[in-house]
Amino acid sequence: MSTGKADHLTHVDATGAARMVDVADKAPSSRTATASGRVRVSPRVVELLRGTSPDGRTLPKGDALAVARIAGIMGAKRTPDLIPLCHPIALHGVTVELTVADDAVEISATARTADRTGVEMEALTAVTTAALTIVDMVKAVDPVAEICSVRVESKTGGKSGDWHRGADGSVVRETSGTAETSGTAETSGTAGASGTAGGEAERSAS
């Protein structure tokens, strides 16, 4: 079974120099990507975010979830300004959802386009921008809030096809209407960030 992985770094040329991958010959197509992440926070922050604080107080900077949602959408739109070799593409939709769990703010972002390359990086940027905004909004109460577990959860469209993460973290690929598991997703990066499975972070493989 094809894994959809590139066997080389597509953003590096034969001399080892960085380059932007040429996608001019690709046909535009519908593509989506969903990413997720968490911001671990203190019980006091959870109270304030849920509005259940016994003293009736709220966060000093106001509605953290609403601000983070807008920040995530704005971040997705600015992805090529932040990630040097990402292509500027037409984003046709970005949704950012935030949920207050008992120990964290859970974030999910989905990006959509009809273009020549994928939107995994836009989804990841939406999540991380929203997460950074949560940290900024709560740091007066919880200065050690921690961003973790940032990763792509699923993608559709493009040469490498559709896939999503299984409950065990493995990559489940959709092939001719059936699901096939291709092993545990590879992870890399800092702040708990995970590289997109199967090399999907590289635009040319999308």
Catalytic residues: 136
97 a known binding residue? Answer: no
Phi, psi torsion values for 98, nearest 5 degrees: -125, 135
Please choose, from the candidates 114, 128, 112, 30, the residue with its C-alpha nearest in 3D space to the C-alpha of residue 75.
Answer: 128
75: enclosing H helix or E strand: helix 64-77
122 a known binding residue? Answer: yes
85 a known binding residue? Answer: yes
Between CA 35 and CA 92 the distance in angstroms is: 17
Asked if 115 and 26 count as a contact pair (C-beta separation under 8 A), the reply is: no
86 a known binding residue? Answer: yes
> Which residues on neighbouring strands pair with residue 35, listed in sequence order?
109, 152
148 a known binding residue? Answer: no
Residues annotated within a binding site for substrate: 85-87, 121-122
Residues annotated within a binding site: 85-87, 121-122
